[in-house]
Amino acid sequence: MPKKMNAPEEDETLNFYTKDQLIHFLKCLEQEYNFKIYSFFRLLAFSGIRKREALALALTWNDVNFKEKEIRVNKALARGENNRLYVKTTKTKASVRTIQMDEKTMEILLEWRAKQKIDYFKLGFNTLQPQQLLFSNANNELLQPTKTRKWILQIQKKYNLELITTQGLRHTHCSLFFEAGATIKEVQERLVHSDIQTTMNIYAHVTEKAKEEAIQRFSDYMNF
């Protein structure tokens, strides 16, 4: 594992995991036997949902289309009077979108939906309601965004992982999307970066890495 970053927030272009780091991170989460947290971070890493969209906290099961493997993003968390959380509709066209998902992540979400039904029934809640949240607290209400920060730090410290933020999982998605062969336009359309520079910085980092790997492959091939 690379050397830990002391303050990942200071350089957003480095605030993401490599493919191997992400796989290791998710495997560590699986070992914790908390399927809600595992499902939550898997969704973040494989969807690229942004922080101001509440990192999937405002999503309901009505936003998930298992048949078409799609997730509809049209709302986010906001803070109102007395700093209370509420769900607001995303009004800008750039933010309202449908995200195509991979089959494995959708299977994990489907499994979490079944587990959620059982877990929350024990707490006295019916999660089959139309506007049931994908991820809620013990009172089946909106999760505080700070809670997810505690989750990720707990895992990172326990397993001595690279320190990135929850927002860093969005950047992880961006980086790996580039590595998988996506174009700048495809990444922009999927992540809807408000700042084009963020996209370009990550693209430059991935491109430089690809150049270094290409040189090494050439050297290994020549062996002379």
Q: For residue 64, report the phi and psi dihedrals to the nearest 5 degrees.
A: -110, 120
Question: Which of 3-7, 55-59, 164-168 is predicted most confidently?
Answer: 164-168
Please say if the pLDDT value at position 67 is more than 90. Answer: yes
Distances in Å between the alpha carbon of 169 and those of 23, 83, 85? 12, 26, 23
Q: List the domains of the chain with CATH numbers.
A: 15-222 (1.10.443.10)
Helix (H) or strand (E) holding 206: helix 196-222
Q: How confident is the model at residue 5 (pLDDT cuts 50, 70, 90)?
A: very low
Please say if the pLDDT value at position 55 is more than 50. Answer: no
The DSSP secondary structure of 47-65, one letter per residue, reads H---GGGGGGTT-BGGGEE
Residue 44 and residue 124: Cα distance in Å, rounded? 28
Task: Find out whether 80 and 93 touch, Cβ atoms under 8 Å.
Answer: no
Residue 80 and residue 105: Cα distance in Å, rounded? 33
* Pair of tokens at residue 192: 């809807």
Residue 46 and residue 95: Cα distance in Å, rounded? 18
Q: What do you get for the CA distance between the two ends of the chain, in Å? A: 30
Please say if the pLDDT value at position 150 is more than 90. Answer: yes
* Pair of tokens at residue 43: 């969704």
Mean pLDDT of all residues in the chain?
82
State the Cα angle at 69 between 200 and 75, rounded to 5°: 65
pLDDT tens by residue, 109-137: 999 999 999 999 999 999 998 889 999 99
